[in-house]
Structure 1
Amino acid sequence: MTRSLDKDILAHLKADDLNRIYEDISTLLTDQPENELLEIEFLGKSHPLQPGVNYLRDGTAVAIPKLRLAQAFFVARQKLKGYQNSGSINDSKIGHATAVLLLMDPEHLTAANTRKRLLISTLEGNGPHESILRREKQFVDSLLTSRLHRHTKSPVLWSHRRWLLHLFVAHDVFVDPQHDIKNIVMVAGTRHPRNYTAWHHARFLLDRHPTFAEPVAIDVKDFCLKNHTDISCWSFLVHAICKIENKENRTKLCSSIVAEVLHISDSLRWTNESVWVFLRSIAVTGLIGDQQFESFLAINEKLVSITPEDSSQWRTLEGARRWCEKYRLSSESNVAE
């Protein structure tokens, strides 16, 4: 293990007070103000801190040197092993250790599973269940929305959040899906574009609460127009539109969104694949009228003419018409009535 470490890190492991560093960082992660998410960033060697200063903080914005996090990680790993050997899961301090481990390594499955066992054990007591659940959600959401590239797309963290929401349901604690999609999923999607893991979680949220489909679709449409090359959000927008339960509202909103996207695509000459996969998918659902369908084909032909190097079948006028007409009727039955 030590052979793979940087000599500078090894020197600091011997010279610095690792327990003090661990306590500072673990306390920072676990003692957050209620209803506030930390916005965490890592500092490299180019931003050294004074001795004894283990992180910088300005409100909810936090910057932690990578060296300090590595030092805290070694202590946290030792503590986790100690808890595993003792078989004790009721000690709340293990939550501090797993928090540091997941900040260092978002794919640390043992740390995530340990937090699950600890949370279940804590909920078996007589404490305020809603407060306990929301504190765990607050910690996970801080990792998912911070400027941490690996964390925002971590399958382990998103899976842990999904498991956590099942506990919310079991304890009759409501979670607003529109708020979570807008403030967690979309933020993670901004931090890490084409974040299919985050948008898959959005599908999970919406499938559980389809009555929120219409306002969610409006929010996501605005996100898509600001991130028009991100195919993951466009794909979710199709899903959200098709989830709207009222047929009249579904058709009306779909027509409005398509009209806006077609207008902007034509005005700004959007020829990227993401937007046109969305338009093609909507065109075959039967949610738009014949006139709008023809507008789609006409704008498609116009944009193809300025990008002749793109000769994919569906991007040509006849190719698009044949593809859409082939699947349009068969796809209508897949839209919720």
Structure 2
Amino acid sequence: MTTPENAYQELASVFSSRGNQILEIETISSTLGSPFLQDGLFVGVTKKMLVLAYTVARKLFIERLLPMSDDDFLMDSSQTEAQCTAVSNRVITETMLLFDCEHLNACNWRKRWLLAAVTRCAKTNTPDQIATTRQVLETELTLLKTYQCSPLHRHTKSPTLWMHRLWVLKQMFQIQPWSVQDLLDLQQEELTVVLRAAELHPKNYYAFSYMRKLYTLLVETGDVAERSDWAIRLAKCLIDPMRDWCLAHPRDISGWIFVVYLLERVPEQHIQTEVVRKVVLFARDIGWEGESLWTFVDQTVREFDLESILDRLLSSGISESGSSALVEDQGTLKPLPWQARLDRAKTYWAMNRKKQ
């Protein structure tokens, strides 16, 4: 029978040996015969084992970590991997957050530990110290990715973890300047994390809220001459992958609303028109009736004055080849709710079925 100490040591060993790798952790059924399974970077653990490990980690947290002073944090964060004990202080909070992703004390302890490393880096400001501190922060991001991209019940939508991730990135921007290309690459990497979390937990409001905050942070961080042009460039880089993801997950209203958010930051109407055109063509050609997609169509058509585009694409008897060329404007529609947009599409489908 698994004891609390054995359960904690098992999970602590996984986190201690993780390095900078990203794990995929999943809760498994106790009927499998073992409370803990591991195959490389894939880890399975039962809920009972998580509870047992958490009880030990929480006790260690109260006894060892809560009394730590600022000097203790500076000393602990300066230790190399070789100097760390078999089970380091960081592993205690990592185990706690695996069980309870909203544990603010554990998350705030990690902030204090990371802030001590950043403070020491600011004082010395040597290339080696900067590289070491950046590595520590990147390791924190891979830990968060382990939580947020694993099929766990709450971690993919945890506001505490998403805000902690944003805080870590802010610290990374402070220790050294980033090039424009590095910021663009980072934005794409973070979008990958967000989309994976959104697949694991559909309609993930917290993940896309994080992406909005990250976008604002990157706009303010970029060392560019014209801030408005930089903001437009960042938004443009996200529009196509977000549109494609939403077309693959057309029921996800949070994703569609984030696309609206991006289109609002791009002044070129031809980009707005092309996105709406492709979405309407997708819905029109496969007969999609879901509310989320048509809500997106209704909002973008109203906001960007694209009534004529919708009229052309859903007018019965008009053949659309899929190119960007459109027929002559046949009049402007009055603003309609999303249900009326869908009714318009249903009329189009009915007319074309009769012709066939």
| TM bucket normalised to smaller | 0.7 to 0.9
Alignment map for 1:253-268 (pairs within 5 Å): 253-268=271-286
Alignment map for 1:12-23 (pairs within 5 Å): 12=1, 16-23=2-9
Normalising to structure 1: TM-score of the pair? 0.76
Distance 1:85 1:214, change over 3 A: closer
Q: Quick one: distance in 2 between partners of 1:28 and 1:124?
A: 29
Q: Deviations over 1:299-326 (max 9, x none)?
A: 8xxxxxxxxxxxx955236x99xxxxxx
Q: Any conservation in 1 of the 2:246–2:252 contact (CA below 8 Å)? A: yes
2:79 is the counterpart of 1:55: no
Aligned-residue offset at 1:86: 3.3
SS at match of 1:56: strand
Quick one: which of 212, 237, 241 aligns to 2:263? 241
2:136 is the counterpart of 1:132: yes
Q: Deviations over 1:10-46 (max 9, x none)?
A: xx5xxx4433432331231243243x32111011211
Q: Quick one: distance in 2 between partners of 1:144 and 1:273?
A: 27
* Structure 1 moving runs of 4+ over 6 Å: none
Aligned-residue offset at 1:256: 1.9
% identical aligned pairs: 27
User: Match for residue 43 of structure 1?
Assistant: 28
Aligned-residue offset at 1:235: 0.3
2:294 is the counterpart of 1:276: yes
Quick one: which of 317, 340, 348 aligns to 1:316? 340
* Paired letter, 2:213: F
Deviates most, 219-228 or 278-287: 278-287
* Paired letter, 1:130: R
Quick one: which of 188, 191, 199 aligns to 1:178? 188
Structure 1 gaps, min length 5: 1-11, 300-311, 321-337
Alignment map for 1:1-337 (pairs within 5 Å): 12=1, 16-34=2-20, 36-49=21-34, 55-84=36-65, 86-88=67-69, 89-90=72-73, 91=76, 93-126=88-121, 127=129, 128-172=132-176, 174=178, 176-181=186-191, 183-207=192-216, 208-209=218-219, 210=231, 211-244=233-266, 247=267, 250-286=268-304, 288=306, 291-295=308-312, 298=315, 314-316=338-340
Q: Quick one: distance in 1 between partners of 2:214 and 2:66?
A: 37
Q: Quick one: distance in 2 between partners of 1:85 and 1:253?
A: 53
Aligned-residue offset at 1:212: 2.3
SS at match of 2:31: coil
* Paired letter, 2:115: I
Aligned-residue offset at 1:284: 2.0
Normalising to structure 2: TM-score of the pair? 0.73
SS at match of 2:57: helix
Q: Any conservation in 2 of the 1:22–1:71 contact (CA below 8 Å)? A: yes
Q: Quick one: distance in 2 between partners of 1:214 and 1:287?
A: 20
Q: Deviations over 1:148-182 (max 9, x none)?
A: 1211001111111121121122113655112211x
Aligned pairs, how many?
Answer: 283
Distance 1:164 1:77, change over 3 A: same
Q: Quick one: distance in 1 between partners of 2:200 and 2:50?
A: 21
Q: Any conservation in 2 of the 1:123–1:132 contact (CA below 8 Å)? A: no
Structure 2 gaps, min length 5: 78-87, 122-128, 220-230, 317-335, 345-356
